[in-house]
Amino acid sequence: MRPDVRYEPARFYLLTYCFSWTPWVAAAWCSFRPGLESLDQLLMLAGLLGPLVSALVCLRRERRQELWHDFKDRLVNLQRLNWRYLPVTFLLMPAAAYIAIQISLSFGRSATQFALIPNLLAMVPLMFLAPTLEELGWRGYGVDALRARFAMWPATLLFAALWAIWHVPLFFINHTYQHDLWPQSPIYVANFFVSVIPAAIIANWLYYKHRRSIPAAILFHFMLDAVAESFRIEQFTKCIVTAVFLAVAVAVVLMDRRSFTEGPRDFIDGPGAQAR
């Protein structure tokens, strides 16, 4: 890595946990106090800003401007999109959900899982907002910071672990998706964390196939959330979705070993430094 371009992965992830967990811990306290619902929602939103705020802090700390210019280019330059991989980016989650629901029907689960939830319109803004705020931080700085220090495979697994841990406070905030898993089954809680691993593997793979395009990362993350939250998919079926994603992740790693065996990489080498 060039000595004049300095990524700070430890600082980024520590700041992200601090900026996200502090308001989320407060939200957990407020969520069980009647009359504090509005404050609870504001604190939840503040926590979502953690990855983005941390990325901006780390970008501003860099003495030179390469990282900042690279961030802006990856955000607005749609020429980075790899059109060959757009169908996978857009359709993988819907296809995995469809396959999982079909399998669940053979176990006696309801076909109403194909139906949309009744309050879908109210959920749409959050479906757009959460992936956008997260990916501006994760792909805007966090993932590349790990790749600057580690090879693709360990960097991806490390990111998966850090991403999963980042969600932990949400399990203690009343009425969140994560909190509502507790009374259903510990298996579903475990499935949430396990599901992050193949999702991170595929997300990182697509991110680099799209030449580090942040909009591509947002699109894939949006599809993950939108499909899971728009349909009445049972938690039993979401375990099957995780299995489908694990199979896809294994296939991706085996078929594209070159990408996953690549060593540490500094992408700030000039205009030609884009992932293969």
Report the 10 Å Cβ neighbour count for 241. 26
Classify residue 118 by its DSSP letter: T
Nearest of 13, 231, 34 to residue 118 by alpha carbon: 231
Catalytic hit among 62, 66, 167, 262: 167
Residue 134 appears among annotated catalytic residues:
yes
Kindly tell me the sign of the dihedral angle through the C-alpha atoms of 85, 87, 90, 91.
Answer: negative
Q: Cα–Cα–Cα angle for 251, 85, 104, nearest 5°?
A: 50
- Of 134, 210, 221, 234, the active-site residue reads 134
Residue type for 218, please?
A: I
Does 229 qualify as catalytic in the annotation? no
Q: Under 8 Å CB-to-CB from 269, ≥6 apart: which residues? A: 2
Contact 228, 126 (CB under 8 A): no
User: What phi and psi, each to the nearest 5 degrees, are found at residue 76?
Assistant: -115, -15
Catalytic residue numbers, as ranges: 134, 167
